Copies of this chain bind each other. A is one copy, B any other.
Amino acid sequence: MGNSKTDRRIIRTKKFIRDALTELMEEKGFEGVTVRDLTKKADINRGTFYLHYQDKYDLLEKSENEVIQEIKEFIKKANPNEIVSANLKEQPLPFIIALFEYIQENARFMQVMLGPKGNPGFHLKIKEVMKTNMLEKLELMDNKTPPLVPLEHLMSYVTSAHLGVIQHWLEQDMKQSPREMALTLASMTFLGPAYVAGIKRT
């Protein structure tokens, strides 16, 4: 990685540009944003933009990847067996709480990227991270029996569900605490949506 210290000016400029991206996407969506807009809002010369990014797509990707990288860090910390035990005690998982807190801190960016004007590719990236993690953790778990449906479908189901709830939480301006959210997610995944909904099984 950037071994040599980065010039202050570069850091400054990049920050301006990325902030401008968030703001402008909020207004117009990614499609509507032009490099002109970005540089105008960031108050830099248009040429300067091209000194750092190939085009707006490059900017989007690099911004996304930074977040993805940080999310990966959080997720690594999860302990596989802790997952089952914590849930049995109706305790939310610490690393999930931490994740919600991280999202909350970067709410503006996440809200835009996951919102209706966001980028579907970003969804995919996040789901991919979740999936990889879940498969790893599942592999390491103690008491388990063979899955009843294709694992691939199960993964799509759970990752989409979780991301969907996060999306909704952001849209609603995060009215619930990270802790509440973690618990709600765990309930639905462990007890099952139908049960949680109150549909009796017998």
Contact = CB atoms under 8 A, between A and B. Distances in A.
A175 to B, nearest CB: 9
B156 A167 contact: yes
A115 interface: yes
Contact of A164 (B117, B157, B172, B190): B157
Bin the interface of chain A by size. Answer: 35 or more
Given A152-B168, A197-B147, A198-B144, A160 B163 contact: yes
Number of copies: 2
B154 A188 contact: yes
Contact of A165 (B157, B191, B193): B157
Interface string A166-187: 0111001000100000001101
A1 interface: no
A11 interface: no
A190 B197 CA distance: 10
